[in-house]
Amino acid sequence: MTVIIKLPEKKLWETICKESEYPEKPPKDKDEIEYINYDPSVHHPAFYGHLHVHVDPHDNLAADFDPSISHPACIGYYLIDIPETQAELSPPPAPDKKTCLPRVFVEFYILPILEPALIEMLKQAKLEKCFERKKTRFNACDYLTEYLYKKNPNHTERENMKLDDIPFVKEWLKTHPRPQLPKSLLWTEDEAAVVIQSHWRGYLDRRTSEIQELRQWQREWHEERHGQGIKGIINNFWNNKMPNWQRSTPSDLEEISSTATSPDIPT
């Protein structure tokens, strides 16, 4: 069966584009009509809410058609009302926790609670960029522990608790302390960028000639004030304790050392 459909009027810009693409063919008239295949079982609203079966049109089906109870588009089809949806069945009773199989226990009691926690854990892991880097500060076991402890329906007062505040976690960490994470894992990208940039700016400032001259002056002033630095302090100490220690031979120094450590000499 076919139906005649009037084509919509084309815009001026579309007509110009068509003429430039195919200049040898004249543009279609706006009143031109076109024939397309038409299936009433797909396009007609008379079939809505019914199951339909196409009938082989070898008989004159239109002779037995009654327009008072049907629609002309239904000629050649058998219509059947869609049965009403059955009421939802009640869920099966919960199995006994003590006598059921381990697989049944896991599927019925553990997975309904663990599955939402795993979904939230994967979302947080994506935010922490665990799928982009080899090492991150995110710990999946810690996240699951905190999530399950806070989301316990029997305890509504745990919503604001952190991992370190959980009692059994505190007891575990007392006997199993964790090593401190490096700052490369603790800092965010913005924090690491601030530290790196500040150190780089300090390095560039210290390279300038004015800063190098100032540091050299400070070094010389310190040596003059403290007697050639730490070396001068040591020399002054031994000059006060042993005025002739610089003229002593190695054997004299060993003798002095053994005498100073002798148990017979009171200290």
DSSP 208-265: SHHHHHHHHHHHHHHHHHTTSHHHHHHHHHHHHH-TTTTT--HHHHHHHHHHHT-TTS
Residue among 177, 112, 116 nearest 143 (CA): 116
Q: What is the pLDDT of residues 4-56, one digit of tens each?
A: 444 455 565 566 556 555 445 554 444 444 445 556 656 677 776 677 777 76
pTM for the model stands at 0.43
Task: Compute φ and ψ for 115, nearest 5 degrees.
Answer: -60, -45
Average pLDDT over residues 192-218: 89
Average pLDDT over residues 181-195: 86
Average pLDDT over residues 198-210: 90
| Structural domain containing residue 31 | 2-81
On whether both 166 and 198 belong to a single domain, the answer is no
Q: What pLDDT, on a 0 to 100 scale, did the predictor assign at position 5?
A: 46
User: 2 pLDDT band (50/70/90 cuts)?
Assistant: very low
Average pLDDT over residues 198-226: 85
In a domain, 94, yes or no: no
Which residues, 6+ apart, have CB-to-CB distance to 217 below 8 Å? Answer: none
In a domain, 251, yes or no: no
In a domain, 167, yes or no: yes
User: 62 pLDDT band (50/70/90 cuts)?
Assistant: low
| pLDDT(101) > 70 | yes
Whose structure tokens read 């070094």? 219
On whether both 115 and 174 belong to a single domain, the answer is yes
Average pLDDT over residues 125-132: 88
Q: What pLDDT, on a 0 to 100 scale, did the predictor assign at position 31?
A: 46
In a domain, 72, yes or no: yes
* Rounded-to-integer distance, Cα 184 and Cα 191, Å: 10
Tokens of 81: 């009302």
On whether both 108 and 171 belong to a single domain, the answer is yes
Q: Are 34 and 5 in contact (CB under 8 A)?
A: yes
On whether both 71 and 18 belong to a single domain, the answer is yes
Q: What pLDDT, on a 0 to 100 scale, did the predictor assign at position 21?
A: 53
User: 60 pLDDT band (50/70/90 cuts)?
Assistant: low
User: 63 pLDDT band (50/70/90 cuts)?
Assistant: low
Domain boundary among 81, 113, 137: 81
In a domain, 87, yes or no: no
First to last CA, the chain: 125
**Mean pLDDT across the chain, nearest whole number?**
75
Residue 127 parent element (H or E): helix 111-127
In a domain, 34, yes or no: yes
CA 15 and chain centroid, separation: 50
One-letter amino acid for residue 9 of the chain: E
On whether both 108 and 178 belong to a single domain, the answer is yes
- Checking phi first, is residue 11 left (phi over 0); if not, alpha (psi -120 to 50) or beta? beta
Average pLDDT over residues 139-149: 92
Parallel, antiparallel or unpaired: strands 50-54 and 33-37: unpaired
* Rounded-to-integer distance, Cα 113 and Cα 93, Å: 18
Tokens of 95: 């199995």
Any bridge partners for residue 53, and if so which? 78
Q: Are 152 and 158 in contact (CB under 8 A)?
A: yes
On whether both 172 and 210 belong to a single domain, the answer is no
Average pLDDT over residues 127-146: 89
On whether both 7 and 77 belong to a single domain, the answer is yes
Q: What pLDDT, on a 0 to 100 scale, did the predictor assign at position 33?
A: 43
Q: What pLDDT, on a 0 to 100 scale, did the predictor assign at position 164?
A: 87
Query: Between these two residues, 226 and 160, which has the higher pLDDT value?
Result: 160
Q: What is the pLDDT of residues 219-250, one digit of tens each?
A: 888 777 665 556 667 777 777 777 766 565 55
On whether both 169 and 152 belong to a single domain, the answer is yes
On whether both 167 and 110 belong to a single domain, the answer is yes
User: 149 pLDDT band (50/70/90 cuts)?
Assistant: very high
Q: Are 30 and 9 in contact (CB under 8 A)?
A: yes
Tokens of 107: 């599927």
Domain count, the chain: 3
